[in-house]
Chain A
């Protein structure tokens, strides 16, 4: 699957898309974007990179297993939700404070959680599928039916 064009462009696109995904994540509260879209874009970047470079390199670059990224995202979202309890408010109530003129609050943390979950779950599926397809291509696994 790995062609010269894909290898060259994949790496570049991956870097650009991952950066872009962070931008989309952070601007999300006021402009089109957000954790879900950001997560999809980031996953897309990594998948394109892995198509060129191979999923093994993609996994090494990630350092953390995708399923753990998803679980961590869920944990972050829950922490954001439970932090409302510190202020004696119901679960998932947004807490806000002003830092240097801009508002910072738990919904942003929650959005980061969404971002991580989407990245983790998408990559868990796609990287596994890619490796499976790779094995089929290499003739390691018998075709079914």
Chain B
């Protein structure tokens, strides 16, 4: 994996520079762009290949306005983030691996937004969760990174499983597991499954898209390298929940429950995210919380079916992805070149970093919602859409204005503090402009926000309208404009800017108030998460301690008791025990009795033995007697196996005996324990005996035997049916068994090799190696908790 080292092949070097992945993203971008004219007219293209035919799950992809919009975002931002990563990870020996994970994520995300089959959608959904886990935990030597990765994985995979259940209910209710079938289904909100599927799907979407109260994983996920934050945790993966909401909007949205849940969760998330963003001084954390705000806004806008709201949601989606990923890349560039992301410590970077600051200013203007940036259009539409929502418009609009003005404040903090103002606290020396890939990708993303803002008609017609048509299921004429005349949204915009400036002016008192307030807030979702995880751990520790106490006798006892309990209760409930009548008993011949006597004697001798060696000898005799029984009843294969296994285990036991402490050190067993163990043993023996007698008393159905006896010579050219079954008829079972046997052998080998001395040297081996993050020491303190 040392792909970036000099000895790597040219192909590996090109791959690890991100060039290959960027080209792949551009290729996808081009293919999707070519589809735009078709989806503009409402066309839907479905491609399907057989995948799991036995479960009737095809690998089917769907291209319509909505998937093209998301696909363009993922591929477009993806291409630039790949280029950025190549520069950002330049000094990491693991750059190739990083690019590989990022590319895998990109493809999974692409699959998610183009999946036609619901199960395929779920599979891609989980693939994005897994790649996100690996990437958040990239700096895996750091315990905080690992904890953040695990937290994101747990929160989003609970949501993922919930989504799976919801999708299955949805498929059942719609009568088909494809998006086409779901769209064709009528009156889903009246279906008895509706409350369940709605709740489950919303839980999935809200956890993935970091809505309150599940938002806490997203700021913690900032432990990932910055390209990951820019791509997965602002532009792409967190939008997966939004995608699912938009995708099933036509089928599910027509209900009071949808409207209320989405508007409440959306407003609360938007305000919470915006407020908490102001509290932070780490650029990445400000951006992370403002992402919660952005996602909350989109959720809010998707709560209704009004054209204005849906248009606003789709526009804001693009706006947010562009400025947010651009600002993340700016934060990454600053971190990479200067060594801090703390806005209190950075100062006057505008001079030494002219290109980065241009990107930052352009992106922040879009974020603050100034004309003529796309962000301005997004904000106007946001207000227009919010006013169109019927549920409590005052609250919705009030919350939106508050959130948007705080966003403006955050944008000002992000640009003015590091680039133009003086530091409040001692910080690192200003660096200089870095690799062209760093500022280049940030600048391009930010410029895109301006370019699209300058040609709103084209953007609206070609990109937004097809998605709106898909969601609304009706021909809609979407018009995006920069200038709408003097109307209520414009007034609200002016108010937003004024409030934003006011908040910026008072930012320090605001931050101090928030720092004082947040730990005193009555609801602390992250503390709740930690309590749940702790409780799960202690429950599993308690159960493990109860069942696995490390004593072989307890294991045998528990196993035996479980067997007795299960078998007797099954017999009690189902019946079916059939003991032979008085005339049906067969008394056997003298040989049988002799073997029986031998076995019984050996059994008694085992229990009575005073030394372990004697007990091993007696058990071996007992097993030999069992082998004799096999011989008497015509099972030579079994008999041979029994004898060889017995011999080998005698050797094994003899060798193990050497390792055991001398018997004198063992405390004598109490009478109570002796009685209990004796009862368990007797119970087990009696049960097996009764079952055997009952089984042999049943009429014997020989049809299978006859069939195998006939087939073995014919089809398998063998007379020994036991062997024919093992290596031919049921060879697949045997393959599984020999795999297990091999694993057991390897396990034993590893245990003995590592058992003593090996463990210590093994421990040291895992800690070496460095991972790719900026090569300079970080000086900024990081606040993590909300």
Contact = CB atoms under 8 A, between A and B. Distances in A.
B636 interface: yes
A70 B740 CA distance: 11
Nearest to A125: B748
Nearest to B659: A136
Contacts of A96: 717
A125 B656 CA distance: 11
Interface in A55-76: 66-67, 70-71, 73-74
Nearest to A110: B727
A30 interface: yes
Contacts of A137: 658
A35 B718 CA distance: 14
Contacts of B752: 128-129, 131-132
Interface string A14-34: 000000000010001111111
B749 A30 contact: no
B266 to A, nearest CB: 52
Contacts of B753: 128
Contacts of B726: 34-36, 111, 114
A143 to B, nearest CB: 7
A144 B662 CA distance: 11
Contact of B719 (A30, A114, A120, A131): A30
Interface stretch (B484-492, B615-623, B728-736): B728-736
A26 B716 CA distance: 15
B738 A77 contact: yes
Interface string B613-649: 0000000000000000000000011001100110110
Main secondary structure of the interface of B (DSSP, over half): helix
Interface in B730-786: 731-732, 734-735, 738-739, 741-742, 744-746, 748-749, 752-753, 755-756
Contact of A47 (B640, B651, B661, B724): B651
Contacts of B742: 70-71, 73-74, 117, 120-121
B655 interface: yes
A105 B727 CA distance: 11
Interface in A99-121: 103, 105, 107-108, 110-111, 113-114, 117-118, 120-121
B720 interface: yes
Contacts of B720: 28-34
A29 B745 contact: no
Nearest to A71: B742
B530 to A, nearest CB: 37
B651 A73 contact: no
Given A28-B720, A31-B720, A32-B640, A73 B738 contact: yes
Contacts of A113: 738
Interface in B163-218: none
A102 to B, nearest CB: 9
B362 to A, nearest CB: 59
B659 A126 contact: no
B220 to A, nearest CB: 42
A37 B637 contact: yes
A126 B651 contact: yes
Nearest to A116: B738
A116 to B, nearest CB: 9
B652 interface: yes
Interface in B479-526: none
Contacts of B716: 29, 94, 107
Given A73-B738, A129-B656, A33 B723 contact: yes
B658 to A, nearest CB: 4
A52 interface: no
B722 interface: yes
Given A110-B727, A111-B723, A125 B739 contact: no
Interface string A78-105: 1001000000000110101000000101
A40 B734 contact: no
Nearest to A124: B745
Contacts of B656: 129, 133
Contacts of B738: 73-74, 77, 113-114, 117-118
Contacts of A105: 717
Contact of A122 (B648, B718, B739, B755): B648
A141 B658 CA distance: 12
Contacts of A51: 651
A27 B307 CA distance: 80
A33 B454 CA distance: 84
A31 to B, nearest CB: 6
B620 to A, nearest CB: 14
Interface string B539-580: 000000000000000000000000000000000000000000
Given A37-B641, A44-B648, A126-B655, A32 B636 contact: yes
In this complex, which of A66, A128, A143 has the most chain B Cβ atoms within 10 angstroms of its Cβ? A128
A45 to B, nearest CB: 10
Contacts of A53: none
* Most chain A CB inside 10 Å of its own CB: which residue of B644, B647, B716, B755: B644
B640 A37 contact: yes
| Most chain A Cβ neighbours within 10 Å, of B665, B718, B742, B746 | B742
A132 B728 CA distance: 39
B302 to A, nearest CB: 48
A131 B751 CA distance: 13
A81 B735 contact: yes
A63 to B, nearest CB: 17
B647 A121 contact: no
A80 to B, nearest CB: 8
B648 to A, nearest CB: 6
A92 B744 CA distance: 23
A121 to B, nearest CB: 3
Nearest to B719: A30
A37 to B, nearest CB: 5
Interface in B660-680: 661, 665
Contacts of B755: 132
A81 B731 CA distance: 9
Contacts of A125: 652, 744-745, 748-749
A35 B727 contact: yes
Nearest to A123: B745
Contacts of B735: 77-78, 81, 92
A54 to B, nearest CB: 14
B728 A126 contact: no
A33 B726 CA distance: 11
Nearest to B656: A129
Contact of A32 (B637, B741, B744, B748): B637
A78 B738 CA distance: 11
A93 B753 CA distance: 39
A124 B749 contact: yes
Contacts of A34: 637, 720, 722-723, 726-727
Nearest to A109: B727
Nearest to A35: B727
B745 A130 contact: no
Given A34-B720, A36-B641, A114-B727, A67 B745 contact: yes
8 contacts: A24-B640, A35-B727, A70-B742, A108-B727, A125-B652, A125-B744, A128-B748, A144-B659
Given A29-B727, A128-B749, A131-B752, 4 more contacts: A29-B717, A40-B641, A94-B728, A132-B752
- List 4 A-B pairs, minimum CB-CB distance, nearest first: A121-B745, A128-B752, A124-B745, A40-B644
